[in-house]
Structure 1
Amino acid sequence: MSNNTYESDLPFDRLDSRRRRELAFKQYQERLHIPTEALQKLTDAFIEQLELGLREKQRSSLLMLPTMVDVLPQGQERGEYYSIDSGGKNIRLLYTRLGKDKHTVEEEKVEVSRVPVELHKVPVEELFDYIAKRMISWSETQGCAIAERQRPVLGFCCSFPVDHHALDAGSLIQWSKGFENPGGVGADPAKLLREAFQRQGVPRVHINALLNDTVATLAAARYLDGPDAIGSVIMGTGTNACYIEQLGNITKWMPRYRARTPDMVVNIEWPGFAAPELPVLEEDRALDAESNNPGQQQFEKMTAGLYTGDIARRLLLSLAEDGELFSGAVPERLRRMGAFTTTLMNLAAEDATPDLARVGAVLEEAFGLPAVQTKPDIRREVRQVCVLVRERSARLIAAMIAGILRHLHRDRPRTAGGELPRTVVAVDGGVFVRHADYRAEVLAGVRDILGDAVADRFSLKVVEAGSPFGAACVAAAADSYMRVAGGSLNFRPPVHKLPAVGQSR
């Protein structure tokens, strides 16, 4: 190379193979890394759509669904409560006794069991009969028989899409996750469960709360952490979030709704978030085109556990086809959608062994590449791709969380000269729960966007399997409220005078 010729001036194919790979990976790193300035613009776009979604229907990519959960636990609820969490192939049953001291649980019993496959398509009454029978028989074996209680209070966490009409009522919008039970769509899940208990000879069960897993996770943290818990994020196979909003800011719906409190939990439904600021790659578009719902839920496809492993696979495939990985040989299984799961991607990303032996094992399991044939530099490059994909997911989630905090003014003191509020966001889902590095990357992203002062007062609280406990907590809060108000779930006190959008609480 002459003194006046630079490497960047040479044709790509004239560089040696090692240097070509280094330059190729640098390009991918630049495409996958989201700098702070871009994150801040993405946060601005999210806030704009969030606030638009509160005011109008159909003009925002965020659904911003009112959940009718306007009574949340305060931590001083006490008594015995039950809950059922049913939203997929498993059901969780819970009995809890909330203690006399604030934020205490004196006793808790939980069961997790599979719903038999043969019940996925039977008439909906048969499915709910099974759920009610399981609760009755399980509670008997645990010494907390629901059938023996004078007035058992139960919260129902139904994580299928539901159009909520009240805290204890709603309509099933559609089945998902392999369920196709006739008679379910359009029916009220809480009513179906009440009627199932009646058919089993237990008519006194009082189902006073119907909610989904994001709201239940928030409620669990609210009971344990009090008012500092302002929202929750689910990050597992899929992703979603909710937060506590002022009712006066939700102007698109039910203007005559008479609430019990000035706040309501809003289900953001952010899987479908779309904006020009979202850094969509060619690999993201290819995955979307091959998915079972093309053109939908772009944000979820860039972040959630069902998809991020396949994004990494597509990046590795592009590098292999360009001849910059695996010596130009493309393993056949590398071309298969689903061959590289997010679990395998995380195993590779977290490999800290000297020779990256786990990466070698992952490549052998996913693509049939014998571990003895993958050189250390190849393993390092595979690990780097996995780290970059995961980091992008975490920073995108961080931008959304930062947007919630900014919308709620949690990035500024409540009073002039005061200190910043402490803020807790509850989190659940396998990606959060099992991977501390991922949580750290989310926290780092929030710090980049909102600064050290806000980040030092912010925390993510893991509430693993918090849905059944949170559902019981909402049931307890509603029960406590009714006892004080002296009414029923249909009781509505005078409408609170609420501040308009942009005014502080």
Structure 2
Amino acid sequence: MSKETDDNHSQLFYWFGNCWDNLFQRSKTSPSENIHSNLIDKNQKNSRFVSQAGKQIVTRDSNFDGLLHDPLEENITSILHTNENTIPWEDYKELMRITSPFHITVEALTHVMAAMEKHCQMGLDPSTKTDSDLKMLPTYVTNLPTKNEYGEILALDIGGTNFRTLLVKLNPNTESEVISEAHIVPDSKKILGNDLFEFIVDVLKQFMIRNKLDLNQEYVLGFTFSFASYHEPTCRVGVILGTGTNACYFEDINKIHTINDRSVLSPEATEMIINTEWGALGEKGCLDMLITDFDREIDKMSNNPGVHIFEKLISGMYMGRLAAEVLAALINQGIILKIQRDHKQSYRYYAPFHALYMLQTSHISEIELDTGRTFANTRNVLKKLGLDYATNADCAIISYTCRLISRLEITINS
């Protein structure tokens, strides 16, 4: 091998290595730094992610002006780092290009916060309510529990996936007792309102019989929010992050100008819980800067196109579909789930696209448990989808993509 060939090989090696070093912020000094900066751009040698065109997306020393730096980020990129030798450089570049929209910036988060606050305020004022994406519904609940409540109360919790019946036994002198049962609502009962409510009534009746409640006695019945992740008596905000999403909070009663009849309020009331219905944020375009082509496809294929934009960005119902859309794009570009057919590096696609659309949000949670060595969980998920063959590079890229999407939704939520 000639010296010139040797030098070219070394140069390419250092270039490739330094690109990966920049991705993972390795503190390393070598000639590769100068080589990389010359090949890409001297002004971009601190680049963290570099697109196919060499465009700087974020810099290491951005001081929160670029990509949000958080503890999850190192965990996300570590999957690629562990398997960097198995991923071809061209595939890596294309992966960075396709997934670049999912690197959230502080500017974008600031925009979301400002939009949310603006639409909340507009929703509380009758003169601007129609311009707000948020319903900001007054609940007329003006007090928190006092812990002096007593009696047996029935409750229903109808979520996007499960339906729960609860019996809550309150006693100021003892710990409250909650008896709960979960039920799946058959699809056949979701079409007509009458069928759904008949199903609920029948389930509630059987629940009362099993718990030896008097069917002739009147009980207080309430609809309840999904279970809290933890209990905090001083909590003033409630958020549901499940199949769907919503939030409520205590608002100064003097700022709520949409209360139709204030005579029903206690004279001592100073605050009221507001049901924001925040999943609708973005319906008038205020979140367009966050919307990717993948999100547009999901919205178009949903049963309610053009509405609940924020919910489609962050809720459990859509996370699996979003990951499937991105992975389908990676397959289409020949980056993952391909089998080498001959020595000319010609590939055929192994994975049928339709298999990916069985990917669920629960699968993403399972994939995120992988450490990046054997990818047992990722392989198990792929097997469930009927995809029995995957290289370590496939698994690394799939895991990275799922983690990136999960991190995006967590960050927007927070």
- State the TM-score, normalized to the length of structure 2: 0.68
Unaligned stretches of 5+ in structure 2?
A: 1-7, 12-34, 42-50, 54-85, 339-346
**Shift of the alpha carbon at 1:133?**
2.5
Structure 2 partner of 1:349 = 368
Q: 1:259 to 1:34 in 2, by over 3 A?
A: same
Structure 2 CA distance for partners of 1:303 and 1:276, relative to 1, 3 Å: closer
Relative contact order (alpha carbons < 8 A, sep ≥ 6): 1 or 2 greater? Answer: 1
User: Which of the numbers 290, 293, 300 marks the counterpart of 2:311?
Assistant: 300
The Cα of 1:32 is off from its aligned counterpart by 0.4
The question of 1:365 aligning with 2:391 is answered: no
C-alpha distance in 2 between matches for 1:114 and 1:63: 29
Give the alignment partner of residue 216 of structure 2, picking from 198, 201, 217.
Answer: 201
Task: Quote the Cα distance in structure 1 between the aligned partners of 2:144 and 2:36.
Answer: 70
Q: Name the count of aligned residue pairs.
A: 322
Amino acid at match of 2:219: V
Aligned pairs for 1:112-151 within 5 A: 112-113=182-183, 126-127=198-199, 129-131=201-203, 133-140=205-212, 145=213, 147=214
RMSD: 3.3
In the alignment, the residues of structure 2 paired with residue 342 and residue 364 of structure 1 have an alpha-carbon distance, to the nearest angstrom, of 16
- Counting only pairs closer than 5 Å after superposition, residues 182-331 of structure 1 correspond to structure 2 as 201-202=216-217, 204-207=218-221, 210-213=222-225, 225-226=232-233, 228-254=234-260, 256-260=262-266, 261-274=269-282, 275-276=286-287, 278-327=289-338, 329-331=348-350
Partner SS, residue 129 of structure 2: coil
1:38 has 2:108 as partner? yes
Q: Structure 2 vs 1, CA of residues 263 and 20 (structure 1 numbering), >3 Å: closer, same or farther?
A: same
CA contact (8 A) 2:157 2:223 kept: no
Shift of 1:129: 4.7
Q: Alpha-carbon deviations, 1:257-283, whole Å to 9, x = none?
A: 431222111111111111146511110
Deviation (angstroms), 1:90: 2.9
Secondary structure in 1 matching 2:124 = helix
Provide the rounded CA distance (Å) in 2 between the counterparts of 1:362 and 1:73. Answer: 44
Matching residue of 2:88:
18
Q: Distance in 2 between matches of 1:63 and 1:329?
A: 50
Bigger CA radius of gyration: 2
User: Which digits, 9 at most, give the CA deviation of each residue in 1:58-111, with x for residues without a partner?
Assistant: 21111111122223213x2242222221526633121313332xxx62544333
1:363-413 deviations in Å (ceiling 9; x for gaps): 2322x322xx42212211110000000011101111xxxxxxxxxxxxxxx
TM-score by length of 1: 0.57
- Closer/same/farther in 2, CA of residues 211 and 69 from structure 1, 3 Å limit: farther
Judge which range, 381-390 or 295-304, deviates more.
Answer: 295-304
C-alpha distance 282-113 of structure 1, shift in aligned 2 (>3 A): closer
Q: Contact conserved, 1:283 with 1:311, CA < 8 A, in 2? A: yes
Partner of 2:137: 65
Instruction: Identify unmatched segments of 5+ residues in structure 1.
Output: 148-199, 399-505
Q: Secondary structure at the residue paired with 2:240?
A: strand
Per-residue CA deviation, residues 7-42 of structure 1 (Å, 9 max, x unaligned), is 559x979xx981112112223443101122321222
Instruction: Give the 3 Å change call, closer, same or farther, for CA 264–337 of structure 1 in structure 2.
Output: farther
Q: Go from structure 1 to structure 2 and tell me whether the alpha carbon gap of 1:343 and 1:330 turns closer, same or farther (over 3 Å shift).
A: farther
In structure 2, the CA distance between the partners of 1:358 and 1:7, relative to structure 1 (3 Å rule), is farther
Change (3 A) 1:117 1:342: closer
